[in-house]
Structure 1
Amino acid sequence: MTSPQGSWTGGALTARSFLKPHHVARAVFHPTWIPESLDPSVDALKKARVIAGAVAAFGVYTFVEGGFAFDEMLNNAATACVVLLFITPLTVGLMLYLWRRSGAGTVGQLREPLVRSLKLLLLFIGSAFGTVLVFRLGDAFGTLGGLLFSAIGLWLAFFVIAGAYRISGNFFGTAVVHRCLPPLLAAVTSWLMAIPDLVTGDLHGLGLALGFVFILGAPITVTGIALLEMGRLRSRYGIRLAAHPATLPPTPAPTPPPPPYAPNGFVPPQGNPYAPPAGNPYGPPQGNPYAPGPRNPYHPR
């Protein structure tokens, strides 16, 4: 599978865009070279996977800890970035090894999309660590410097949070390499984030039963949705995770949504249905029927 050509943002950013960090995050962390979802059902599963991960990462944690701690969120984001920095290349590298062993294609065929995905990974991790660094530097300066760094840090925080939402859906654009990689990476990452708590027995003071439900709820939910997503790709489009991207059938163009004015997806025929058709059979005949012909026998000579 080759990566489509085009610029990173597709010209979507303007000077006014930087007033809204989520607009910048959408352009930066969901570049134009990332392929769109094949159909609405796969896109709905992807959104469900993102929501399940977000609820597990923020909602449940906030409920268990009894409040939302901004510093704790920054530390967790930095930890998650370290995990992503190692687990994403490792998982993709394992799949490249399996695809190469199959003999159906080479790693060189995937070099360009792999490089683009790696750039997106490093860009997100750099943004997250940069946000943490800005907030830490704000404490080392006076009041004026602290206010300046706080303003920059808040902009970066909204930028990274919006970027994390985009990244959770496309998983660093790895769908441009293989469409099954984003759900696979989501499942692997969710399990790796839960394993340390299982190994150390850190159940967050919830007791054995509730602690295991809290820890295992996120990876089980994300994995179930990811398996369903990959099952849809396999059954509907013939896209299998074990198949080298070069051997996959060409994917059809994404189904465009119906126009917003069309009820139930029905698009009425275009044009005026009451207009007379071309060549009105009820109109007068063309030309003068009483004009003498070229050899009219009744015309006086």
Structure 2
Amino acid sequence: MNAWNQQGGRPPYDPHHQPYQPYQPYGPPPVPPPVRRVGPFRRLWRAVGPIAVGRKVFRPSRPGRVDDPVVARMQKIRTLVGLGAVVWVMFSYRLVASVGDLASDRANQSWINVLVLSVTFPVVVGVLIGVARPPARQELLRRAAKPFGSIVAIIAGVAVFPASVLTGFVGGRFATNPVMSVITGLVTLFTLLWILPFVVYGVGMSLVHVFRTADIHETVPPLLALVLVWEMTLIDLLTGAYEGVPGPVRIALMLGAPLSVTAVALWELRRLRVGYGLTLRGALMR
């Protein structure tokens, strides 16, 4: 029996033994990074600024909602590829004269998409609620409140600009005295610094999240996106979009978006069914 075991599992006493010290690197200890102080104005802007409010209004927030990052990544790739193809065609065939014209064209197209989607949304969701069984019908109707509120918010935000012009508010029609002049200036400043960023952010988020219809059910956004893209293709066909582009390229442009969106939507529905057990029939209790 050695000395380790004689002392009950402890090493023999050594007066020259130094207690264990954790390894200390040479030099002074690292200094933690300073805590950034946020001023009251910035805190207020983060709470009630246009982007902060836009996140609350236009992004899905239902607890327990499945948020698949792979699907989100695929949708971004499809959007970037489609946008790149449109930009290349428009500049190659001189459909736009400058970058400003291109930005204006894409902004108008995005707003048309939002308008068509705001009309399509109540129709599609109304049909789903109508064919659902009574227990699911009440729940789906309750969940549709926030998506419907996001539609009202974006329409109301955009309506501020034509209302300001038509009433003459922007032109100073009501600035008849110093007080009204100050009020006119403040309202105009609020419109430019708050309403405009809110609308721009809202248009983008409304299209990305399909009016936050994932709050209703995870299968509703791909279904609505599929319906919307074929509606927009029909509108492009009836309005003669991409005039001046050779026939094969025009066909590829007009069919590329709906076919790619359809493929991504069907793949997303399959991924929800296989990976998470979420189906449209399950949402309807059919």
Match of 2:119 among 80, 86, 89: 86
**Deviation of 1:164 (Å):** 2.4
**Deviation of 1:113 (Å):** 0.5
Counterpart for residue 96 of structure 2: 65
Match of 1:128 among 135, 158, 165: 158
Match of 2:246 among 187, 207, 210: 207
Matches of 2:197 and 2:89 in 1, distance apart? 19
**Deviation of 1:88 (Å):** 1.0
Matching of residues 16-27 of structure 1 within 5 Å? 16-17=45-46, 21-27=50-56
Preserved contact between residue 203 and residue 211 of structure 1 (Cα < 8 Å): yes
Report the CA distance shift for 1:76/1:50 in structure 2 as closer, same or farther (over 3 A): closer
Preserved contact between residue 131 and residue 156 of structure 1 (Cα < 8 Å): no
Counterpart for residue 245 of structure 1: 283
Count of equivalent residues: 231
Report the CA distance shift for 1:129/1:207 in structure 2 as closer, same or farther (over 3 A): farther
Matches of 2:219 and 2:78 in 1, distance apart? 14
Deviation per residue, 1:201-224 (Å, 9 max, x gap)? 333321322222222222222222
Matches of 1:78 and 1:93 in 2, distance apart? 23
Report the CA distance shift for 1:195/1:82 in structure 2 as closer, same or farther (over 3 A): same
Which consecutive unaligned segments of at least 5 residues does structure 2 have?
Answer: 1-41, 174-180
Preserved contact between residue 50 and residue 197 of structure 2 (Cα < 8 Å): yes
Q: Look up the equivalent residue of 2:96 and give its one-letter code.
A: E
Q: Is the helix fraction higher in 1 or 2?
A: 2
Deviation per residue, 1:262-294 (Å, 9 max, x gap)? xxxxxxxxxxxxxxxxxxxxxxxxxxxxxxxxx
Matches of 1:50 and 1:35 in 2, distance apart? 27
Counterpart for residue 225 of structure 2: 186
Deviation per residue, 1:98-130 (Å, 9 max, x gap)? 334xx7x44223221012221122112222333
SS in structure 1 opposite 2:57? helix
TM-score (norm 2): 0.64
Q: Does 1:174 align with 2:213?
A: yes
Q: Look up the equivalent residue of 2:274 and give its one-letter code.
A: S
Which consecutive unaligned segments of at least 5 residues does structure 1 have?
Answer: 1-12, 249-301
**Deviation of 1:236 (Å):** 0.9
Q: Look up the equivalent residue of 2:218 and give its one-letter code.
A: R
Match of 2:59 among 30, 52, 59: 30
Q: Does 1:111 align with 2:141?
A: yes
TM-score (norm 1): 0.61
SS in structure 2 opposite 1:65? coil
**Deviation of 1:37 (Å):** 3.7
Matches of 2:140 and 2:115 in 1, distance apart? 25
Counterpart for residue 69 of structure 2: 40
Cα RMSD (Å) of the superposition? 3.8
Deviation per residue, 1:191-246 (Å, 9 max, x gap)? 211212213433332132222222222222222211111110011112122x1426
Report the CA distance shift for 1:18/1:114 in structure 2 as closer, same or farther (over 3 A): closer
SS in structure 1 opposite 2:144? helix
Matches of 1:57 and 1:192 in 2, distance apart? 20
Q: Look up the equivalent residue of 2:143 and give its one-letter code.
A: P
Preserved contact between residue 117 and residue 172 of structure 1 (Cα < 8 Å): yes
Report the CA distance shift for 1:139/1:60 in structure 2 as closer, same or farther (over 3 A): farther
**Deviation of 1:90 (Å):** 0.9
Identity %: 27
Q: Look up the equivalent residue of 2:158 and give its one-letter code.
A: A
Report the CA distance shift for 1:17/1:205 in structure 2 as closer, same or farther (over 3 A): same
**Deviation of 1:163 (Å):** 1.8
SS in structure 2 opposite 1:66? coil
Matches of 1:147 and 1:26 in 2, distance apart? 25
**Deviation of 1:158 (Å):** 2.6
